[in-house]
Structure 1
Amino acid sequence: MEFCPKCEVRLKNDNGLLSCPKCKYVKEKPDKSIKEKPEETNSEFLVMDESDLNQAKGLESTIKIDCEKCHNQEGVCWSLQTRSADEPETRFYRCTKCNYTWRDYT
């Protein structure tokens, strides 16, 4: 979509020419219109992997938990806003013994 440089009216397509219906400005239509593709993003959502956990040592809170897998009593927790802003954040828990991870939506 192009506009007239004189009167700023949208140019109409007339047999390969772009013309202004108001002031009769004429421009040749470009051979191909250039469309930019948006960057593709990876749709996988990875909360935290081992390298992230190792880098974040000391930043997470060590808390008392009851691991569902190994019944260890120590774990780490962190929280992220995974839903809309008017809903509560999601809390994630990871056992320090078996690395089992689960989340709490409340």
Structure 2
Amino acid sequence: MFCPKCGSLMHPKDGKWVCSNCGYEIPIENEEKKEIVAEAKEKEMIVISSQEELKALPYDESVMCPKCGHVGAHWMLQQTRAADEPETRFYICPKCGHRWREY
């Protein structure tokens, strides 16, 4: 939410939206409170539960599984650290199911 007075980003604090620049305050509606709490509690988790979902991921033929030696693996990218650092690439071997990551 943006401040209607100065246009700066507003942050939730004590049941109100508070402008970080000018201090303007607006009460948070009940629906907005639920969304903020849900967003704060949720942790991002990716679960690949079937071969069909695995096949939907991109495939890299230049990597080798460190467990079984199979050449080629499916991969996905995820931001696991700060936004100013590069994302982490996760690999999944289609033969043995081993998962590993590359920073």
Q: Find the counterpart in structure 2 of residue 20 from structure 1.
A: none
RMSD: 2.9
Q: Does 1:47 align with 2:46?
A: yes
Could you tell me which runs of 5 or more consecutive residues in structure 1 were left unpaired when the two chains were aligned: 2-35
CA distance, structure 1, for counterparts of residue 72 and residue 63 of structure 2: 6
Structure 2-normalised TM-score?
0.51
Maintained 8 Å contact 1:61/1:78? no
Identity %: 36
Paired with 2:53 and 2:64, the residues of 1 have a C-alpha distance of 24
Which of the pair is proportionally richer in strand?
2
Does residue 103 of structure 1 match 2:94? no
| Total equivalences in the alignment | 70
Q: How many angstroms does 1:42 deviate by?
A: 5.4
1:93 aligns with 91
Name the amino acid aligned to 1:86: D
Name the TM-score, length of structure 1 as normaliser.
0.50
TM alignment of 1:17-96, pairs within 5 A? 38-39=37-38, 41=41, 46-51=45-50, 54-55=52-53, 57-96=55-94
Structure label with greater radius of gyration: 1
Cα distance, 1:77 vs structure 2: 1.4
SS in 1 for 2:96: coil
Corresponding residue number in structure 1 for 2:23: none
Q: Within 1, Cα distance between the matches of 2:89 and 2:65?
A: 15
